[in-house]
Amino acid sequence: MDKIQKIETNLSGHWANDNELTRSHVSQKRNKIDLFIESLQDNIDTLKRNNEISPIEKQNLFNKLQIDHYESEFNIIAGRKYSTTIQKWIGYITEINDETFSAKLIDKTNKGTNEIVEFSKDELSPDDLPLFRMDAIFYWSIGYSVSNGQKRSESILKFKRSAVYEDKDLDKGLDVGNDIFEGIDWED
């Protein structure tokens, strides 16, 4: 098998871009996707052309749109990128300050005692800022990641996301909760 040639330039139209071995994996994948879409289109065109086909036959043909040409590459990915945790916690925010916030942490790895830990707000991801508030739940883990043979330690803080309830669901849930506990006393 020929060796993949190194691309010396990013100029468009360079002969290397046409080299079938260049970035062969990407081109293979694109070819498969294109073939799949083409096969679907062929079937759709056939349906459109053959209007005499009964609705049931048409539906049967449509149902046969299997992903035959598209071999799912949804197998386990090449192990070039993965990460492993050494310890995991689930936490919820108990205090918010100017530069920091405190949270109660439940150790999910060692099942030890709970801890109160202070974090810097610098650890918050931009996408998680809308979720940042008192009592918000987050996952925190420490471990390491491996990418293309290089290992580095990492600390990941990710806020829990759950489906957003509509107002009518909230009201109904509150009503049901009140009914369940009506007449029950709680020890002080």
Partner 1 sequence: MLTPNNNIGEVTLIGTGGGYGESIVIHLGNQEWAVIDSCVNPNTKESLPLEYLKSINVDIANEVKLILISHWHDDHIKGISQLYNKAKNAELFISHVQDRSKFMAFVGFDYKKIDDDITAVSTYEFVKCIQILKERKPKIINKANADKRLWLTKITFSRLLIFTEIRKKN
Partner 2 sequence: MIRNPEISIISIVVVGKFNPIIFQPSWLALKSIIGEIEANGADVEIIHREIVRFKLEWAEIEITSDKFNIKSSKEAYFEPVRDLICSIFTILNETPIDAVGINHSMHFQLRNESEFLNFGNFISPLENWKGAFKDPKISNIDLIQNKRNDSFDGMYRLKVQTSDLIKANGVMINLNDHVEFTSKSTKDLISYLNNNWEVSAVFNQEILDNLWTKFKK
Q: Which residues bind partner 2 (CB under 8 A)?
A: 29, 33, 36-37, 40, 65, 67, 70, 72, 74-79, 81-85, 88, 90, 125-128, 130, 139, 141, 143, 145, 154, 156, 158, 160-164
Question: Residue 161, interface with partner 1 (CB under 8 A)?
Answer: no
Minimum distance, C-beta of residue 169 to partner 1, in the bound complex (Å): 7
Please give the Cα distance from 53 to 29 (Å, whole number): 34
Question: Residue 175, interface with partner 1 (CB under 8 A)?
Answer: yes
Cα angle for residues 185, 186, 188 (degrees, 5° grid): 130
135 binds, among partner 2, partner 1, none (CB under 5 to 8 A by kind): partner 1
26 binds, among partner 2, partner 1, none (CB under 5 to 8 A by kind): none
Which residue from 62, 82, 144, 165 is in contact with partner 1, where contact means CB under 8 A?
A: 165
Contact 119, 168 (CB under 8 A): no
Please give the Cα distance from 87 to 155 (Å, whole number): 10
